[in-house]
Chains A and B, each alone.
Chain A
């Protein structure tokens, strides 16, 4: 029997997380995780929380890494910044990646430092030919330092720049093509931005380079309004994933098949079983998609 070679999937090219539900690791869940993590296939950490030399953070992470696949998610490299990358920050990220050999390394299309000031936030940048070149340079430098592909995450935004000349999806596509990086599709961010700017989230997904998506993020948002009474969603990670985001997620999985999916929760952290159940919901959706695809393949 001969078979045509199938094109390599994003999971093979950019990251090797299992295509099931995962959870952002919080130290207070450590003992519960070791006792029972059924339905949870991987954990993600924020890289900067592990930039210390040793101690309990690394002891816990080493134990976790022995038992589960790991995603290292940077939140402070400032890839979208106008200035040069912080070499010390990059070196510490590279050392962490070397130490734990994670299945995925990701960062954001955002900036968080400027002229000697640091911001614990993911700040937006105008999308222009100038910023595109700079983001490409920064990702090239990062991937060289890490010796592996990075996943770049789509942002959540609250306003636009008059100066922007390139639509966000096109910007991300061109960055990915030029750098060879993979993509982390944050479905909750798509929904936040779509709500804040009044566009159709599915049209964003349709245009997104889905063949490069090697991980998905889901998270809760905080809902408020702007002065004009338009809905204003904030990417707050302090509540369960909202139902419209689950529906959007199902549409994405339907389109691209099973992809590793992380439940992000960084504020108002619930008990472990609550987060494990949310990851389990993602796992169920992914398994249904896998079964559906296999049935489709058998029929064909």
Chain B
């Protein structure tokens, strides 16, 4: 870098040579006593690459366990060529990994992997979500049957639904500490309600009718409407029992004549 280069131009040259490791380090840098520079510059390349791979591994521990550390690192490196953080803050970065996994021919034999990663995205979002106090069963008991059928339900701000044609929650559970990773998994589609009512993130499997019910409530529809949506999957669906189940889980923060839209967590679907 000649002396007249500005701060911005110097920074641009450094950034480019960190992003593209095939480039030689920028001119205008000095090693010790004007000596060699490549290994010195490589410290920053390594810190950035390993920092980003580490951030992905922290965010996708189950995906990493399923693939193995080496293969996951290869996946992370490939992802880096495709998606870089746009700011120094990594809290929100890496959510595009599941979509990227689906584009890889090498992982075509692992069609469930993207959905497992999507479940991990929902887990992390729930982990960091805002606090809200779940209601107790007494709040339900105060409502008349008429009030209840018109009521809208506000789910906890951490609540999110993940739907998959694969047994994502069972796969996730099989990789947790203390679980038997080789235990037989019933290979059926699973829908999961991810919610963190208190300190711990909970993964709660929902049958198709219950999923339709929760998705309708989450979209701001009232309990009667949501029951009708569920009945399309199960004519004997018991809305009252399921509502009690959601409250017991800690997934409900209000039951009332809410403005539509208040109860609208995002739904992740493949």
Binding site for B on A (CB under 8 A): 48-49, 51-59, 75-78, 81-83, 86, 89, 111-121, 123-126, 128, 130-131, 134, 158-163, 196-198, 224-228, 230, 232, 234
26 pairs of residues in contact across A and B, judged by CB atoms under 8 Å: A49-B91, A53-B128, A54-B130, A55-B126, A57-B127, A59-B199, A77-B88, A83-B8, A89-B89, A111-B11, A114-B14, A114-B15, A117-B85, A120-B52, A120-B55, A121-B18, A125-B7, A161-B28, A162-B1, A162-B3, A162-B30, A163-B28, A226-B39, A227-B36, A230-B32, A232-B40
Contact partner, B44, options A55, A121, A232, Cβ 8 Å: A121
Contact partner, B10, options A48, A161, A228, Cβ 8 Å: A161
Contact partner, B5, options A114, A163, A198, Cβ 8 Å: A163
Task: Write the nearest CB–CB distance from B70 to chain A, whole angstroms.
Answer: 19
Asked if A117 and B10 sit within 8 Å, CB to CB, the answer is no
Contact with A along B124-161 (1 / 0, CB 8 A): 00111111000000000000000000000000011000
Give the residues in chain B near A162, CB-CB below 8 Å: 1, 3, 28-30
Closest 4 CB pairs of A and B: A52-B128, A120-B51, A76-B88, A53-B130
Task: Write the nearest CB–CB distance from A158 to chain B, whole angstroms.
Answer: 4
Give the residues in chain A near B130, CB-CB below 8 Å: 53-54
Asked if B39 and A131 sit within 8 Å, CB to CB, the answer is no
Contact with A along B1-36 (1 / 0, CB 8 A): 101011110111011001100000100111111011
Residue B71 is within 8 A (CB to CB) of chain A in the complex: no
Residue B188 is within 8 A (CB to CB) of chain A in the complex: no
Cα separation A113 to B19 with both chains bound (whole Å)? 12
Cα separation A86 to B89 with both chains bound (whole Å)? 10
Asked if B3 and A163 sit within 8 Å, CB to CB, the answer is yes
Cα separation A125 to B44 with both chains bound (whole Å)? 13
Residue B43 is within 8 A (CB to CB) of chain A in the complex: yes
Asked if A117 and B128 sit within 8 Å, CB to CB, the answer is no
A-contacting residues, B47-101, CB 8 Å: 47-48, 51-52, 55, 84-91, 93
Asked if A55 and B19 sit within 8 Å, CB to CB, the answer is no
Which of A130, A158, A224 counts the most B-chain CB atoms under 10 A from its CB?
A158
Cα separation A78 to B88 with both chains bound (whole Å)? 8
Give the residues in chain B near A234, CB-CB below 8 Å: 43
Chain B interface residue count, Cβ-Cβ cutoff 8 angstroms: 54
Using A55-B128, A120-B52, A158-B43 as known contacts, say yes or no to A48 and B91 having CB atoms under 8 A apart.
Answer: yes
Asked if B87 and A86 sit within 8 Å, CB to CB, the answer is yes
Which of B1, B47, B55, B157 counts the most A-chain CB atoms under 10 A from its CB?
B47
Task: Write the nearest CB–CB distance from B187 to chain A, whole angstroms.
Answer: 32
Binding site for A on B (CB under 8 A): 1, 3, 5-8, 10-12, 14-15, 18-19, 25, 28-33, 35-41, 43-44, 47-48, 51-52, 55, 84-91, 93, 126-131, 157-158, 196, 199-200
Asked if B48 and A119 sit within 8 Å, CB to CB, the answer is yes
Contact partner, A118, options B10, B31, B88, B158, Cβ 8 Å: B88
Asked if A54 and B28 sit within 8 Å, CB to CB, the answer is no
Contact partner, B90, options A120, A128, A163, Cβ 8 Å: A120
Give the residues in chain B near A228, CB-CB below 8 Å: 31-32, 35-36
Task: Write the nearest CB–CB distance from A202 to chain B, whole angstroms.
Answer: 19
Contact partner, A226, options B3, B35, B88, B126, Cβ 8 Å: B35
Task: Write the nearest CB–CB distance from A157 to chain B, whole angstroms.
Answer: 9
Asked if A125 and B11 sit within 8 Å, CB to CB, the answer is yes
Task: Write the nearest CB–CB distance from B145 to chain A, whole angstroms.
Answer: 35
